[in-house]
Amino acid sequence: MINFYASTEEYAERTIGEKLELATFERSHFYQQVGNVSKISIDGITVKKNNWYDSYMGILIGYDTLIKYVAMAEADPQTDTILFVIDSNGGDVDGLFEFVDIVSKCKKKTVSLYKNTGASASILYGTVSNEVYATPYSELGSIGVVAVYREGTSGGQYKVAVSKNAKNKNCTIENKCGDRIQQRIDHLEDMMLERVSSHTGVSREDLIEKFGMGAMVNASVAKEAGLISNIVSEGELMVQLTSEKNMENNMEEKILVLKQASVAVAKFGLNPQQAEDLSSAETFQAFTEKLMALHASPSPFNPSPSSPQFQAQRETKIGDKAYTMEDFEAQLKAEVNK
Protein backbone atom coordinates (compact mmCIF):
# COMPACT_ATOMS: atom_id res chain seq x y z
CA MET A 1 0.00 0.00 0.00
CA ILE A 2 1.26 3.47 -0.93
CA ASN A 3 0.34 6.49 1.19
CA PHE A 4 0.47 10.01 -0.22
CA TYR A 5 1.08 13.07 1.96
CA ALA A 6 1.34 16.78 1.34
CA SER A 7 3.74 17.41 4.20
CA THR A 8 7.32 17.25 5.42
CA GLU A 9 7.27 15.08 8.54
CA GLU A 10 4.04 13.12 8.86
CA TYR A 11 5.12 10.29 6.55
CA ALA A 12 6.87 8.60 9.48
CA GLU A 13 5.22 5.29 10.39
CA ARG A 14 2.20 5.85 12.63
CA THR A 15 2.31 3.38 15.49
CA ILE A 16 0.85 3.46 18.97
CA GLY A 17 4.35 3.42 20.38
CA GLU A 18 5.32 6.59 18.55
CA LYS A 19 2.08 8.30 19.55
CA LEU A 20 2.59 7.56 23.22
CA GLU A 21 5.72 9.69 23.12
CA LEU A 22 3.47 12.56 22.00
CA ALA A 23 0.88 12.00 24.73
CA THR A 24 1.67 15.31 26.40
CA PHE A 25 0.60 17.31 23.33
CA GLU A 26 -2.23 19.78 23.86
CA ARG A 27 -5.41 19.54 21.81
CA SER A 28 -4.41 20.29 18.24
CA HIS A 29 -7.63 21.92 17.08
CA PHE A 30 -10.53 23.85 18.55
CA TYR A 31 -13.43 26.12 17.69
CA GLN A 32 -13.90 29.41 19.52
CA GLN A 33 -16.36 32.27 19.14
CA VAL A 34 -14.83 35.75 19.64
CA GLY A 35 -17.51 38.37 19.01
CA ASN A 36 -18.32 38.28 15.30
CA VAL A 37 -15.37 35.97 14.52
CA SER A 38 -15.46 32.16 14.52
CA LYS A 39 -11.87 31.09 15.20
CA ILE A 40 -10.76 27.64 14.00
CA SER A 41 -7.30 26.67 15.25
CA ILE A 42 -5.33 24.03 13.30
CA ASP A 43 -2.16 23.06 15.15
CA GLY A 44 -0.55 19.97 13.70
CA ILE A 45 -0.93 17.42 10.95
CA THR A 46 -4.20 17.07 9.03
CA VAL A 47 -5.69 13.71 7.99
CA LYS A 48 -8.90 12.64 6.28
CA LYS A 49 -10.54 11.33 9.43
CA ASN A 50 -9.35 10.75 12.99
CA ASN A 51 -9.66 7.37 14.65
CA TRP A 52 -10.67 7.17 18.29
CA TYR A 53 -7.08 7.29 19.55
CA ASP A 54 -6.11 10.35 17.51
CA SER A 55 -9.27 12.15 18.61
CA TYR A 56 -8.64 11.30 22.26
CA MET A 57 -4.98 12.29 22.22
CA GLY A 58 -5.49 15.35 20.01
CA ILE A 59 -2.43 14.48 17.91
CA LEU A 60 -3.92 14.65 14.42
CA ILE A 61 -6.61 16.90 12.95
CA GLY A 62 -9.29 15.33 10.77
CA TYR A 63 -10.53 17.22 7.73
CA ASP A 64 -13.96 15.91 8.70
CA THR A 65 -13.71 17.77 12.04
CA LEU A 66 -12.58 20.98 10.33
CA ILE A 67 -15.47 20.71 7.87
CA LYS A 68 -17.88 20.48 10.83
CA TYR A 69 -16.30 23.59 12.36
CA VAL A 70 -16.78 25.49 9.09
CA ALA A 71 -20.43 24.40 8.94
CA MET A 72 -20.95 25.62 12.53
CA ALA A 73 -19.47 29.01 11.66
CA GLU A 74 -21.53 29.33 8.49
CA ALA A 75 -24.73 28.55 10.42
CA ASP A 76 -24.00 30.94 13.32
CA PRO A 77 -25.92 34.22 12.80
CA GLN A 78 -23.45 36.02 15.07
CA THR A 79 -20.51 35.12 12.81
CA ASP A 80 -19.51 37.19 9.81
CA THR A 81 -15.84 36.14 9.65
CA ILE A 82 -14.21 32.71 9.85
CA LEU A 83 -10.57 32.85 11.01
CA PHE A 84 -8.25 29.88 10.49
CA VAL A 85 -5.18 30.05 12.76
CA ILE A 86 -2.73 27.58 11.23
CA ASP A 87 0.49 26.06 12.56
CA SER A 88 0.99 22.94 10.48
CA ASN A 89 3.68 20.98 8.66
CA GLY A 90 1.04 19.65 6.27
CA GLY A 91 -1.14 16.60 6.04
CA ASP A 92 -2.72 13.86 3.94
CA VAL A 93 -3.77 14.45 0.36
CA ASP A 94 -6.81 12.25 1.01
CA GLY A 95 -9.60 14.63 2.03
CA LEU A 96 -7.51 17.75 1.39
CA PHE A 97 -9.15 18.96 -1.81
CA GLU A 98 -12.64 18.36 -0.42
CA PHE A 99 -11.82 20.60 2.54
CA VAL A 100 -10.36 23.26 0.22
CA ASP A 101 -13.50 23.24 -1.94
CA ILE A 102 -15.74 23.70 1.12
CA VAL A 103 -13.70 26.67 2.41
CA SER A 104 -13.69 28.22 -1.09
CA LYS A 105 -17.51 28.15 -1.13
CA CYS A 106 -18.00 29.81 2.27
CA LYS A 107 -20.56 32.60 2.11
CA LYS A 108 -18.93 34.39 5.02
CA LYS A 109 -15.59 36.18 4.92
CA THR A 110 -12.65 33.80 5.44
CA VAL A 111 -9.25 34.80 6.84
CA SER A 112 -6.14 32.65 7.37
CA LEU A 113 -3.29 33.41 9.76
CA TYR A 114 -0.13 31.29 9.67
CA LYS A 115 1.59 31.05 13.05
CA ASN A 116 5.13 29.65 13.06
CA THR A 117 4.73 27.09 10.25
CA GLY A 118 2.63 26.86 7.11
CA ALA A 119 3.79 23.95 5.01
CA SER A 120 2.57 21.81 2.14
CA ALA A 121 -1.12 20.89 2.58
CA SER A 122 -1.71 23.86 4.89
CA ILE A 123 -0.58 26.19 2.10
CA LEU A 124 -3.32 24.80 -0.11
CA TYR A 125 -6.22 25.10 2.35
CA GLY A 126 -4.91 28.30 3.98
CA THR A 127 -4.49 30.36 0.83
CA VAL A 128 -8.06 29.73 -0.36
CA SER A 129 -9.30 32.27 2.24
CA ASN A 130 -10.32 35.77 1.21
CA GLU A 131 -7.42 37.22 3.20
CA VAL A 132 -4.15 35.52 4.17
CA TYR A 133 -1.67 36.66 6.85
CA ALA A 134 1.35 35.32 8.72
CA THR A 135 2.99 36.16 12.03
CA PRO A 136 6.42 37.85 11.77
CA TYR A 137 8.64 34.78 12.20
CA SER A 138 6.56 32.22 10.37
CA GLU A 139 8.00 29.95 7.71
CA LEU A 140 5.92 28.95 4.72
CA GLY A 141 6.35 26.67 1.75
CA SER A 142 7.18 22.99 1.16
CA ILE A 143 4.73 23.03 -1.74
CA GLY A 144 4.64 19.55 -3.21
CA VAL A 145 3.75 15.93 -2.50
CA VAL A 146 5.49 13.07 -0.70
CA ALA A 147 4.74 9.39 -1.32
CA VAL A 148 5.63 6.57 1.09
CA TYR A 149 5.46 2.84 0.50
CA ARG A 150 6.96 -0.32 1.95
CA GLU A 151 9.06 -2.60 -0.19
CA GLY A 152 8.00 -6.19 -0.21
CA THR A 153 6.13 -7.63 2.76
CA SER A 154 5.56 -6.07 6.16
CA GLY A 155 9.23 -6.60 6.94
CA GLY A 156 10.38 -4.42 4.04
CA GLN A 157 11.86 -0.96 4.36
CA TYR A 158 9.88 2.24 3.84
CA LYS A 159 10.74 4.24 0.73
CA VAL A 160 10.03 7.93 0.16
CA ALA A 161 9.50 9.84 -3.09
CA VAL A 162 8.77 13.53 -3.68
CA SER A 163 7.07 15.28 -6.59
CA LYS A 164 9.14 16.63 -9.47
CA ASN A 165 9.26 20.30 -8.44
CA ALA A 166 9.81 19.67 -4.75
CA LYS A 167 13.13 17.84 -4.62
CA ASN A 168 14.07 19.54 -1.36
CA LYS A 169 11.11 18.12 0.55
CA ASN A 170 12.94 14.82 0.94
CA CYS A 171 15.22 12.44 -0.91
CA THR A 172 13.89 10.54 -3.95
CA ILE A 173 13.62 6.79 -4.38
CA GLU A 174 15.28 4.58 -6.97
CA ASN A 175 13.66 1.24 -7.71
CA LYS A 176 11.31 -0.39 -10.17
CA CYS A 177 8.24 1.31 -8.61
CA GLY A 178 9.83 4.74 -8.72
CA ASP A 179 8.56 5.91 -12.13
CA ARG A 180 4.94 4.97 -11.45
CA ILE A 181 4.95 6.60 -8.02
CA GLN A 182 6.74 9.65 -9.42
CA GLN A 183 4.09 10.17 -12.09
CA ARG A 184 1.29 10.04 -9.55
CA ILE A 185 2.81 12.48 -7.07
CA ASP A 186 3.83 14.83 -9.90
CA HIS A 187 0.18 14.91 -10.97
CA LEU A 188 -0.88 15.75 -7.42
CA GLU A 189 1.75 18.47 -7.25
CA ASP A 190 0.43 19.97 -10.50
CA MET A 191 -3.02 20.16 -8.93
CA MET A 192 -1.58 21.81 -5.82
CA LEU A 193 0.44 24.39 -7.77
CA GLU A 194 -2.57 25.21 -9.94
CA ARG A 195 -4.86 25.76 -6.98
CA VAL A 196 -2.38 27.78 -4.87
CA SER A 197 -1.69 29.94 -7.94
CA SER A 198 -5.42 30.55 -8.45
CA HIS A 199 -5.86 31.41 -4.73
CA THR A 200 -3.00 33.91 -4.57
CA GLY A 201 -2.36 35.18 -8.10
CA VAL A 202 1.26 34.01 -7.79
CA SER A 203 2.40 32.27 -10.97
CA ARG A 204 3.27 28.59 -11.02
CA GLU A 205 6.87 29.47 -11.92
CA ASP A 206 7.23 31.82 -8.94
CA LEU A 207 5.74 29.24 -6.58
CA ILE A 208 8.46 26.85 -7.68
CA GLU A 209 11.42 29.22 -7.86
CA LYS A 210 10.71 31.68 -5.03
CA PHE A 211 9.96 28.85 -2.62
CA GLY A 212 13.10 26.93 -3.49
CA MET A 213 11.47 23.91 -5.15
CA GLY A 214 9.71 22.62 -2.07
CA ALA A 215 11.88 24.38 0.51
CA MET A 216 10.65 26.69 3.29
CA VAL A 217 10.94 30.50 3.41
CA ASN A 218 10.15 33.02 6.15
CA ALA A 219 7.02 35.17 6.24
CA SER A 220 8.68 38.28 4.78
CA VAL A 221 9.80 36.36 1.69
CA ALA A 222 6.32 34.81 1.38
CA LYS A 223 4.77 38.29 1.50
CA GLU A 224 7.18 39.61 -1.11
CA ALA A 225 6.29 36.65 -3.33
CA GLY A 226 2.57 37.41 -2.95
CA LEU A 227 1.59 34.26 -1.03
CA ILE A 228 0.22 36.23 1.96
CA SER A 229 -1.36 39.67 2.32
CA ASN A 230 0.53 40.96 5.34
CA ILE A 231 2.48 40.02 8.46
CA VAL A 232 0.58 40.49 11.74
CA SER A 233 0.31 39.01 15.21
CA GLU A 234 -2.81 37.07 16.18
CA GLY A 235 -3.79 39.83 18.63
CA GLU A 236 -3.47 42.53 15.96
CA LEU A 237 -5.56 40.55 13.51
CA MET A 238 -8.33 39.91 16.05
CA VAL A 239 -8.48 43.64 16.88
CA GLN A 240 -8.64 44.43 13.17
CA LEU A 241 -11.41 41.95 12.42
CA THR A 242 -13.58 42.88 15.43
CA SER A 243 -12.98 46.61 14.81
CA GLU A 244 -14.24 46.24 11.24
CA LYS A 245 -17.49 44.80 12.60
CA ASN A 246 -17.80 47.55 15.23
CA MET A 247 -17.35 50.22 12.53
CA GLU A 248 -20.01 48.52 10.43
CA ASN A 249 -22.41 48.40 13.39
CA ASN A 250 -21.75 52.07 14.23
CA MET A 251 -22.48 53.06 10.63
CA GLU A 252 -25.74 51.10 10.65
CA GLU A 253 -26.80 52.75 13.92
CA LYS A 254 -25.95 56.22 12.59
CA ILE A 255 -28.08 55.59 9.50
CA LEU A 256 -30.94 54.50 11.77
CA VAL A 257 -30.55 57.71 13.82
CA LEU A 258 -30.83 59.83 10.68
CA LYS A 259 -33.98 57.95 9.66
CA GLN A 260 -35.39 58.43 13.16
CA ALA A 261 -34.67 62.16 13.04
CA SER A 262 -36.53 62.44 9.76
CA VAL A 263 -39.55 60.61 11.21
CA ALA A 264 -39.51 62.76 14.36
CA VAL A 265 -39.40 66.02 12.39
CA ALA A 266 -42.39 65.02 10.28
CA LYS A 267 -44.41 63.41 13.10
CA PHE A 268 -43.82 65.91 15.89
CA GLY A 269 -43.30 69.17 14.00
CA LEU A 270 -39.78 69.90 15.26
CA ASN A 271 -37.97 73.05 14.17
CA PRO A 272 -34.70 72.98 12.11
CA GLN A 273 -32.48 73.51 15.15
CA GLN A 274 -34.12 70.63 16.99
CA ALA A 275 -33.82 68.43 13.91
CA GLU A 276 -30.11 69.22 13.60
CA ASP A 277 -29.55 68.46 17.27
CA LEU A 278 -31.29 65.07 16.95
CA SER A 279 -29.31 64.16 13.83
CA SER A 280 -26.01 64.73 15.66
CA ALA A 281 -26.68 61.76 17.97
CA GLU A 282 -24.32 58.82 17.34
CA THR A 283 -26.48 56.11 18.94
CA PHE A 284 -30.15 55.26 19.21
CA GLN A 285 -30.09 55.75 22.98
CA ALA A 286 -28.52 59.19 22.65
CA PHE A 287 -31.11 60.12 20.01
CA THR A 288 -34.00 59.00 22.23
CA GLU A 289 -32.68 60.94 25.21
CA LYS A 290 -32.29 64.10 23.11
CA LEU A 291 -35.87 63.84 21.86
CA MET A 292 -37.22 63.07 25.32
CA ALA A 293 -35.39 66.09 26.70
CA LEU A 294 -37.30 68.40 24.36
CA HIS A 295 -40.56 67.79 26.26
CA ALA A 296 -39.54 65.97 29.43
CA SER A 297 -41.50 66.57 32.63
CA PRO A 298 -41.15 65.01 36.11
CA SER A 299 -43.21 61.90 36.76
CA PRO A 300 -45.83 62.27 39.53
CA PHE A 301 -44.54 58.99 40.95
CA ASN A 302 -41.04 60.38 41.45
CA PRO A 303 -40.75 64.17 41.73
CA SER A 304 -36.95 64.21 42.05
CA PRO A 305 -35.40 64.82 38.57
CA SER A 306 -31.93 63.87 39.84
CA SER A 307 -32.83 60.30 40.86
CA PRO A 308 -32.20 57.26 38.65
CA GLN A 309 -35.84 56.27 38.95
CA PHE A 310 -36.89 59.58 37.41
CA GLN A 311 -34.56 59.03 34.47
CA ALA A 312 -36.20 55.64 33.79
CA GLN A 313 -39.80 56.66 34.49
CA ARG A 314 -39.90 60.22 33.19
CA GLU A 315 -42.65 61.03 30.73
CA THR A 316 -42.77 63.13 27.63
CA LYS A 317 -45.90 64.66 26.16
CA ILE A 318 -46.08 64.74 22.40
CA GLY A 319 -49.43 65.82 21.05
CA ASP A 320 -52.16 64.47 23.28
CA LYS A 321 -50.22 61.42 24.50
CA ALA A 322 -47.78 60.85 27.34
CA TYR A 323 -45.00 58.26 26.96
CA THR A 324 -42.46 56.67 29.22
CA MET A 325 -38.99 56.50 27.69
CA GLU A 326 -39.43 52.78 26.96
CA ASP A 327 -42.85 53.29 25.33
CA PHE A 328 -41.55 56.11 23.19
CA GLU A 329 -38.50 54.13 22.07
CA ALA A 330 -40.66 51.19 20.97
CA GLN A 331 -43.10 53.42 19.07
CA LEU A 332 -40.33 55.32 17.31
CA LYS A 333 -38.65 52.12 16.13
CA ALA A 334 -42.00 50.92 14.79
CA GLU A 335 -42.41 54.16 12.87
CA VAL A 336 -38.92 53.89 11.33
CA ASN A 337 -39.47 50.27 10.28
CA LYS A 338 -42.75 50.96 8.46
Each residue of 143-164: pLDDT tens digit? 998 887 777 666 667 777 888 8
Residues 35 and 242: beta-carbon distance below 8 Å: yes
CATH topology assigned to domain 2-232: 2-enoyl-CoA Hydratase; Chain A, domain 1 (3.90.226)
Q: What is the mean pLDDT of residues 96-116?
A: 96
* Band (60; pLDDT cuts 50, 70, 90): confident
Confidence grade of residue 55 (pLDDT, cut at 50, 70, 90) = low
In whole angstroms, give the CA distance from residue 25 to residue 156.
31
b or e along 90-116 (b: 16 or more beta carbons within 10 Å of the residue's beta carbon)?
Answer: bbbbebbbebbebbeebeebbbbbbbb
Q: Which of 45-49, 157-161, 171-175, 315-319 has the highest mean pLDDT?
A: 45-49
**DSSP class of 326:** H
> What pLDDT sits at residue 220?
92
- Report the pLDDT value the prediction gives residue 251, as an integer from 0 to 100: 64
Question: pLDDT confidence of 137, banded at 50, 70, 90?
Answer: confident
Provide the residue ranges of all domains of the chain, joining segments of one domain with +.
2-232, 251-336
Three-state SS annotation for 216-267: EEEHHHHHHHCCCCEECCHHHHHHHHHHHHHHHHHHHHHHHHHHHHHHHHHH
Calculate what percentage of the chain has a pLDDT beyond 70: 58
Q: How far apart are CA 101 and CA 105, in angstroms?
A: 6
For residue 55, list its beta bridge partners.
Answer: none
Mean predicted confidence (pLDDT) in 249-277: 68
Q: Would you say 169 and 214 are in contact if contact means Cβ atoms under 8 Å apart? A: yes
The closest alpha carbon to 219, from 287, 108, 153, 139, belongs to 139
Among 147, 136, 140, 117, CA closest to 215:
140
Give the model confidence (pLDDT) of 214-252 as tens digits: 888 899 999 999 999 999 988 888 888 877 666 666 666
Q: At 191, is the secondary structure helix, strand, or coil? A: helix
pLDDT of 241 reads 83
- DSSP per-residue letters across 132-186: EEE-TT-EEE--S-EEEEE-SSTTSPEEEEE-TT-TTSS----STTHHHHHHHHH
Task: Look at residue 54 in the predicted model and tell me its pLDDT.
Answer: 58
- Report how far apart, in Å, the C-alpha atoms of 99 and of each of 93, 171, 235, 283 are: 10, 28, 26, 42
The pTM of this model reads 0.63
pLDDT of residue 41: 93
Using the predicted structure, report yes or no on whether residue 296 has a pLDDT greater than 60: no
- SS3 call for 213: coil
Q: What is the mean pLDDT of residues 106-127?
A: 95
